[in-house]
């Protein structure tokens, strides 16, 4: 009998204080104890009133107030481009045929996947040991190399379609999607303070919290990963689409019409909430121009909270009026240029999280139709873009911190029969 496909890895011989945002090793490595970048809030400062949901009326008022002001910068920051070009700068309508970004698994591919699964199980590996070496796909890897190149050097997203979630046990299905995704990026990141390696994006039967899924989610990135992988285990009855927009196209429009906003987005004073940990927040830009690449990295939840689910931590800085306008402008411009790729059960969606924004449409479950996505944060060490220091620290916390225990939940974690929402998610 083949050994169990997935088992938890042994716990590392380290402990981390529950409230410490950065491990002791990262603090030493990045000299964080001498770093004072997370400035204290000014108790007399007046911050903008801005919530998690985009408020177009408030946004337009801020725009009018800014345009009435004088001495706004008329050019983008020194060293920044006036316009970005290339395959990452796409718009609505640029992909009329989904065949441009979908790879359909062939029958031969599926046989090779099944063979790789059997090889993996017969070798006695644990589920967290899935890699290109332990899950060999000698023919399919050539197609997956094209997918990887599209993500890191092409349009910034791609879909692998054709897996049937019902054809496998949950354990085997986990190995399969981890095996395929390892050809895009082999390193997987810890997605919360707990160390969750697989995040289940679902309604959890908690009416007070599940109400958030009846609202559209604003555009954002997942903050800390170069490749976002989403495996679609099942679909909702209605809605729930994952919608994409090019951050490069958003930049181009803002740079051409409101270069002062680019200055604001590039300032290193944006306050990211750590939600009750120490330090209480950290500061860095939302946009970086580094080694001739535009990198966008922000979560609206970390910048303004998500009341009533995640209230902003007391005592930390809020956003200025200029920052509130800039944050809303990203969403407003992205909506103008978004695309809506079709989604099917079994899809593996790969997104360049440095160049492509995404948002989620509100959804409703019904009967046997319940939306269930599994999120993985992938890092490809060879193809990941060069990162500025602030993001090097963020990436190291997710992909290199051995002091937090890894948790591999192939099903949503439960307690007393109820599905848990893991606190501290970084999305």
pLDDT in tens, the chain (427 residues): 333 345 545 444 444 444 899 999 999 999 998 655 555 666 667 899 999 999 999 999 999 999 998 889 999 999 999 999 999 999 999 999 999 999 999 999 999 999 999 999 999 999 899 999 999 999 999 999 999 999 999 999 999 999 999 999 999 999 999 999 999 999 999 999 999 999 998 865 544 444 445 567 899 999 899 999 999 999 876 666 889 999 999 999 999 999 999 999 999 999 999 999 999 999 999 999 999 999 999 999 999 999 888 899 999 999 999 999 999 999 999 999 999 999 999 999 999 999 999 998 876 778 778 889 999 999 999 999 999 999 999 999 999 999 999 999 999 986 554 555 544 444 3
Q: Domain 45-419 in CATH: superfamily?
A: Clavaminate synthase-like (3.60.130.10)
- Give the model confidence (pLDDT) of 175-210 as tens digits: 999 999 999 999 999 999 999 999 998 865 544 444
3-state SS of the chain? CCCCCCCCCCCCCCCCCCCECCCHHHHHHCCHHHCCCCCCCCCCCCCCCCCCCCCHHHHHHHHHHHHHCCCCCCCCCCCCCCCCCCCCCCCCCCCCCHHHCEEECCHHHHHHHHHHHHHHHHCCCCHHHCCCCCCCCCCHHHHHHHHHHHHHHCCCEEEEECCCHHHCCHHHHHHHHHHHHCCCCCEECCCCCCCECCEEECCCCCHHHHHHHHCCCCCECCCCCCEEEEEEEECCCEECCEEEEEHHHHHHHHHHHCHHHHHHHHCCCEEEECCCCECCEEEECCEEEECCEEEECCCHHHHHCECCCECCCCCCCCCCHHHHHHHHHHHHHHHHHCECCCCCCCCEEEEECCCEEEEECCEECECCECCEEEEEEEECCCCCCCCCHHHHHHHHHHHCCCCCCCECCCCCCEECCEECCCCCCCC
């Amino acid at each position: 009998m083949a050994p169990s496909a997935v088992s938890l890895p042994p716990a590392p011989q380290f402990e981390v204080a529950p409230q410490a945002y950065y491990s002791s090793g990262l603090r030493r490595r990045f000299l964080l104890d001498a770093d004072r970048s997370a400035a204290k809030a000014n108790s007399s400062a007046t911050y903008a009133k801005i919530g998690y949901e985009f408020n177009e009326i408030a946004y337009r008022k801020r725009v009018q107030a800014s345009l009435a002001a004088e001495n706004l910068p008329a050019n983008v920051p020194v060293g920044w481009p006036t316009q970005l070009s290339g395959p990452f700068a796409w718009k609505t309508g640029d992909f009329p045929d989904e065949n441009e970004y979908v790879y359909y698994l062939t029958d031969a591919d599926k046989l090779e996947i099944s063979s790789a699964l059997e090889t993996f199980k017969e070798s006695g590996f644990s589920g967290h040991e899935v890699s290109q070496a332990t899950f060999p796909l000698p023919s399919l890897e050539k197609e997956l190399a094209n997918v990887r190149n599209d993500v890191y050097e092409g349009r910034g997203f791609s879909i692998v379609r054709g897996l049937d979630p019902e054809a496998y046990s949950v354990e085997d299905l986990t190995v399969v999607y981890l095996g395929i995704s390892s050809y895009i990026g082999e390193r997987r990141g810890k997605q919360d303070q707990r160390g969750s390696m697989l995040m289940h994006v679902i309604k959890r039967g908690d009416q007070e919290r599940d109400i958030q899924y009846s609202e559209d989610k604003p555009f954002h990135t997942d903050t800390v990963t170069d490749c976002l992988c989403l495996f679609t285990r099942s679909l909702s009855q209605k809605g729930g689409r994952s919608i994409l927009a090019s951050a490069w196209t958003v930049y181009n429009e803002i740079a051409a019409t409101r270069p002062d906003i680019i200055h604001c987005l590039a300032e290193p004073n944006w306050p990211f909430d750590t939600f009750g940990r120490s330090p209480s927040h950290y500061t860095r830009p939302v946009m970086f121009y580094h080694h001739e690449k535009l990198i966008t990295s922000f979560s609206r939840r970390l910048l303004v909270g998500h009341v009533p689910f995640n209230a902003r931590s007391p005592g930390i800085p809020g956003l200025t009026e200029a920052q509130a306008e800039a944050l809303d402008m990203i969403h407003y411009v992205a909506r103008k240029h978004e695309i809506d790729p079709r989604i099917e059960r079994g899809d593996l969606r790969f997104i360049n999280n440095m160049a492509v924004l995404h948002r989620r449409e509100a959804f409703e479950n019904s009967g046997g139709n319940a939306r269930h996505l599994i999120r993985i944060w992938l890092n490809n060490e060879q193809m990941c873009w060069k990162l500025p220091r602030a993001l090097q620290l963020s990436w190291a916390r997710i992909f290199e911190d051995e002091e937090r225990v890894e948790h591999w939940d192939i099903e949503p974690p439960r307690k007393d029969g109820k599905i848990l929402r893991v606190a501290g998610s970084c999305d």
